[in-house]
Structure 1
Amino acid sequence: MDLVVLGHVAIDHIIFPDKREVIIPGGAAAAVATSAALSGAKVGLVTKVGKDFPKEWLESLKRILDIRGVHVLEGKTMHIYMIYHEDGSVDAPVEMGVAKAMGETEIPEDYLSAKIFHISPIPPEEQLKAINRLEGKRITVDFNPTYMEEYRTKRGLMKEIVSRVEVVFPNEREAMTITGETEVTKAAETLHEWGAKIVVVTLGEKGVLLYDGRDFKKFNALPVEEIVDPTGAGDAFAGGFLAYYAEGKDLEECVRQGLVRAREVLKKKGSWSI
């Protein structure tokens, strides 16, 4: 197995100002995993869902992923409500359901021989639990604005997480919040000083900034005629990057594959690449 992704899978509710509601599959872990699989990687997914998780969604994951690490439990799946208002503001309340204590989720024994382990955005304490369980493995982590207050106030915890992983994937704001820096390049340098070998800062429509401890390299986002839904573009990028990274490809190739996968997910509704 090339890659194991641990984190949330969710049911996303998109609620428009006119009260129309669209329900689609979501969750950062599935977004990363499906992107990596479509980039050629053999991927295992570790997560928790409830009995309300649609069987057809599970079947669609099964077609391209190893889902023996997907635990279907009594209770509700994580539900995320993206509520769009007339003034352009967005509320995003979350019902955690069975998705609590994600860092302790059982990992199938044979998954432990995977080349890379990616921990998608979960509470920092849970990320550290997962890192402790994967001691000695090659680990990468991603972040999410949901936990921004914890990133800001628990710098010691964040420093420990970063010190024990190989690659980090913050966006620009997360990188600066985690480190306390006010410039993205200085934030990337600090994350590297804390221990991350590779820092990949996603910059939205401005592209990606890569720092390997020696040089900064800026990559432009690929053009998209029409953006249907920006949800999950960063996760799709990480999946494409990690698929190539697990194969030992050049970092520039990894970034370019990530940008290809991000472009593709921007063209469709939802964060999954399938």
Structure 2
Amino acid sequence: MPLVVVGSVAFDSVETPQAVRERVLGGSAVYFSLAARFFTKVRLVGVVGEDWPAEYTALLQTHSVDTAGLQVVSGAKTFFWRGRYHANMNERETLDVQLNVMANFNPVLSQELRRCKFLFLANGSTKMQLNVLSQCVGPMLTVADTMDHWIRTEPQELRELMGRVDGLVLNDSEAKLLAQRDSLLGAGRTLLEMGPRFIVIKKGEHGALFFSKHEMYVLPAYPTDRVVDPTGAGDSFAGGMMGYLAEQADYAPETLKRAMAYGIVAASFTVEDFSVDRLLKITREDVELRMEEYRRMLTF
């Protein structure tokens, strides 16, 4: 089934101990889409400024991403992020954030998009996520991402959102902040009580935790030794997970577990090059080969 993602489309400038890349393609919706497109048709909803190169839109289209929902605002600038990674590549600091067109992004979905069965609300304003959700009619599965900024600035809206989505994806520090718990196990259980059917807590190089009413499990990260740029790994994880769920048109427990594994595999490719470059070079066959390697690692 087609999959709709609403989120940021951006320019990123990334500094690592080895190299610097200026104004490369980024944004939560972009990483998500290029990971999900291995499994299903992806329809991206986002906004950019007039500085957005037409060739980037063409690139997304070439890789099976529907960009009909990508709005271009004349006289405005595209969202920009600059960050620096420390030597261990697990810690980073944000050096500059320019929301630009994202500051007032409040999309109006087409009639076709409103009838989507699988919807992912990528990282963005919780108020915007609620507005998008209110436009959709009868979705089968809705999942949202969030971050510490929205947890602190839009707490009431986030609590409302959690009561309306099926799943929530966030990283470990964000889970503890939102749940106001020191342990991840406690945080996961507390977040479940806030409404979603399941919670996925991303742990970077340590994989991901899954919580639902009936089960809890952890999946380790795929052990790649080519960590070049971790930017977008979490969004790619979500893209792989949601793409597989949409392909299967199902989110039964076993399907969700396999979907998480595909998400981890997608993230492992993303970190192996700057921006989305690695995702653009691989095929579904490459994903399946690594998935089989990952499956063997977990079998004992």
Q: Which residue of 2 aligns with 1:35?
A: 35
Return the offset for 1:16: 6.6
Q: Which residue of 1 is the match for residue 227 of structure 2?
A: 227
Question: What does 1:111-126 align with in structure 2 at a 5 Å threshold?
Answer: 111-126=113-128
- Residue 201 of structure 1 aligns with which residue? 201
Residue 46 (1) aligns with residue 51 (2): no
Do residues 77 (structure 1) and 82 (structure 2) align?
Answer: no
The one-letter amino acid of 1:180's match is Q
C-alpha deviations, 1:19-50, integer Å up to 9, x for none? 96522100001111111002x11110000111
Aligned to 1:157: 157
Q: How does 1:61-72 map to 2 (within 5 A)?
A: 61-63=60-62, 64-72=64-72
Out of 139, 143, 147, which is 2:146 matched to?
A: 143
> What RMSD over aligned residues (CA atoms) do the two structures have, in Å?
2.3
Note if 1:55 corresponds to 2:49. Answer: no
Residue 98 of structure 1 and its aligned partner are, at CA, apart by 1.6
Q: Which amino acid aligns with 1:207?
A: G
Contact 2:81 2:94 in 1 (8 A): no
TM-superposed CA distance for 1:89, in Å, is 6.4
Between the aligned partners of 1:154 and 1:10, the Cα distance in structure 2 is 22
Measured in 1, the distance between the counterparts of 2:30 and 2:5 equals 8
Q: What is the CA distance between 1:241 and its match in structure 2?
A: 0.4
Q: Which moved more, 1:185-194 or 1:75-84?
A: 75-84
Kindly provide the CA deviation profile for residues 103-123 of structure 1, in whole angstroms up to 9, marking residues without a partner as x.
x21222212232211111112
State the number of aligned residues.
268
Residue number among 97, 100, 103 corresponding to 2:103 in the alignment: 100
Q: 1:267 to 1:17 in 2, by over 3 A?
A: closer
User: 5+ residue gaps in structure 2?
Assistant: 281-300
Question: CA offsets, 1:57-104, max 9 Å, x none?
Answer: 111111111110011111111111225689x863332112222233x2
2:262 to 235, 254, 257: 257
Query: How does the TM-score come out when normalised to structure 1?
Result: 0.90
Partners of 1:46 and 1:93 in 2: CA distance: 24
TM-score normalized by structure 2?
0.82
AA partner of residue 259 (structure 1):
I
Question: Structure 1: how far apart are the matches of 2:84 and 2:152?
Answer: 25
